[in-house]
Amino acid sequence: MGFSFVSFRTVFLLVCSVFNIDAAGYFENGTALERTAKQFFPFFPVGVVRFENGICTGSGSLDGTCYTRRQCADFDGIGSTSCANGIGVCCVIQRSCGESTQLNNTYFVSPGFPTGFAASSVCTYTIQKIDPSICQVRIDFLTLRLAQPNIMGVCNTDALIVTGGASNVPILCGENTGQHIYVDFNGNTSITISIRSSGLFASRAWNIKVSQIACNCPYRAPSGCLQFYNTTTGTVTSFNYGSVAPQNGTRQLVNMNYGICVATIRGFCGIQWAQTAGTMTFTVSDNTYTFIGDGTIGTAAAQQTGAACTADFVVIPGPILPDGTALTSDRFCGNAFVTLQTFSQPFVMTVVTNGDETGDMGNAGFSMTFTQLSCGMNIFVG
């Protein structure tokens, strides 16, 4: 069965991010709020002033949560702009190594962020459910700069590892700023993000936003979707994608097997996938570009499909060319990607890499765009 969603990010933030409620429900009965109640609501009895702990914009344009000033201080948050008609303060909550949270909308930052963190360490952050209505977290890598994998594509110097969840999350390293993942809770078990670093890497830094998602939220990612997009158009990239790959190694990470899902927007029945314009935007196996310095000249770029794609590839079910020609295989690899369409729902592209990237020297990974197609229409590319 397909799934259908509307595409309003604001609605997601307001409806699907569960509000944090203190032990007294929406009420804050301390003296600070009592004074506020008397000042702003003189005809209401003390204790009836209440407001939702919703999303707000705090310092540094980071998303915060609207709390009372006392709550923000108790949570060791950073209060800046006011909210709830001046009763509350927009509280940005940041945590670092060895800490945990049972609050929504928090940030896991490297020591001294944004300054690079060059030390060898194991830095962990534990995410606990706000309440039983939560089923999932979205983890946004606002900044994630770790050391590159070794020549085999293994994250042997730095590694980001997610444990405790019900989702299969691959080990990540390299440059993943702007990426995101969804992780399902496994019952009431906490989810832990661990970043293991060894050796000197002066640029190592991270700022990771964690948002908890309610079980009944329409923007909850479907099971099996590590990444999820709810727009009619967009760009997706492989983890650690870079426009220039290392000449003596690969950006491609080993042991990938995950789904990139696109929500079916009402009124759209198909989707078109295309290689992003530019050089080296699809090098998924056995790179054939010729290197000179940091640039490239000449190519033997060619798309491969089917039986030729056994180690590293992407899978797009039910593919057809824009002219309507059906393809005989749904696997694609090589150094080029021919624009194709599919009307197979739900819209999922599966990414697979094997356990050793030694033979794929110089791979950059992929950058691809998707465009949803109106029902009854194809997009023909000239």
Give the pLDDT score at 293. 53
Same domain, 175 and 228: no
Backbone angles phi, psi at 234, to 5 degrees: 175, 175
Same domain, 330 and 281: yes
Give the pLDDT score at 48. 46
Same domain, 354 and 239: yes
Same domain, 162 and 280: no
Same domain, 215 and 230: no
Give the pLDDT score at 206. 97
- Residue 54 inside a domain? The answer is no
- Rounded CA-CA distance 122/99 in Å is 12
Same domain, 265 and 242: yes
Give the pLDDT score at 160. 98
Same domain, 118 and 107: yes
Question: pLDDT tens-digit profile of 25-72?
Answer: 232 323 333 333 333 333 334 344 578 888 888 877 888 899 999 999
Distance of CA 94 to the CA centre of its chain: 18
Share above pLDDT 70 across residues of the chain, in percent, rounded to a whole number = 81
By CB atoms closer than 10 A (0-12, 13-18, 19+), residue 46 is middle
Give the pLDDT score at 271. 98
Nearest-5° angle of CA 340, CA 345, CA 348?
65
Segments forming the whole domain that contains residue 291: 224-374
Contact 368, 274 (CB under 8 A): yes
Q: Last residue of some domain: 172, 200, 221?
A: 221
Under 8 Å CB-to-CB from 35, ≥6 apart: which residues?
none
Q: What pTM was estimated for this model as a whole? A: 0.84
Q: Return the H-helix or E-strand segment holding 33.
A: helix 31-40
Question: pLDDT tens-digit profile of 157-187?
Answer: 999 999 999 999 999 999 999 999 999 999 9
- Residue 78 inside a domain? The answer is no
- Residue 340 inside a domain? The answer is yes
- Residue 18 inside a domain? The answer is no
Q: How many residues does this entry show for the chain?
A: 382
- Rounded CA-CA distance 276/284 in Å is 14
Contact 105, 175 (CB under 8 A): no
* Closest alpha carbon to 364 in 269, 298, 286, 292: 286
Distance of CA 165 to the CA centre of its chain: 15
Same domain, 250 and 364: yes
Contact 273, 282 (CB under 8 A): no
Same domain, 248 and 142: no
Under 8 Å CB-to-CB from 28, ≥6 apart: which residues?
22, 49, 68, 70, 71
What is the tally of structural domains in the chain? 2
Same domain, 231 and 370: yes
For the chain, the helix, strand and coil percentages under 3-state DSSP, each to the nearest 5: 10, 40, 50
Same domain, 120 and 182: yes
pLDDT in tens, the chain (382 residues): 443 333 333 333 334 654 433 322 232 323 333 333 333 333 334 344 578 888 888 877 888 899 999 999 999 998 888 898 888 999 999 999 999 999 988 999 999 998 889 888 999 999 999 999 999 999 999 999 999 999 899 999 999 999 999 999 999 999 999 999 999 999 999 999 999 999 788 899 999 999 999 999 988 999 999 999 999 999 999 999 987 766 667 899 999 999 999 999 999 999 999 999 987 899 898 777 665 555 544 555 678 888 889 999 999 999 999 999 999 999 999 888 999 999 999 999 999 999 988 877 778 899 999 999 999 765 444 3
Round the average pLDDT of the chain to a whole number and report it.
83
Q: Last residue of some domain: 191, 221, 251?
A: 221
Give the pLDDT score at 59. 77
Tell whether omega for the bond before 111 is within 30 degrees of 0, i.e. cis: no
Backbone angles phi, psi at 320, to 5 degrees: -135, 155
Q: With the C-alpha atoms ordered 193, 115, 103, 258, is the resulting torsion angle positive or negative? A: negative
Contact 314, 351 (CB under 8 A): yes
Same domain, 251 and 324: yes
The CATH number of residue 323's host domain is 2.60.120.290
Q: Last residue of some domain: 161, 189, 221?
A: 221
- Residue 88 inside a domain? The answer is no
- Residue 332 inside a domain? The answer is yes
Q: Return the H-helix or E-strand segment holding 141.
A: strand 134-145
- Residue 157 inside a domain? The answer is yes
- Residue 278 inside a domain? The answer is yes
Q: With the C-alpha atoms ordered 93, 159, 161, 334, is the resulting torsion angle positive or negative? A: positive
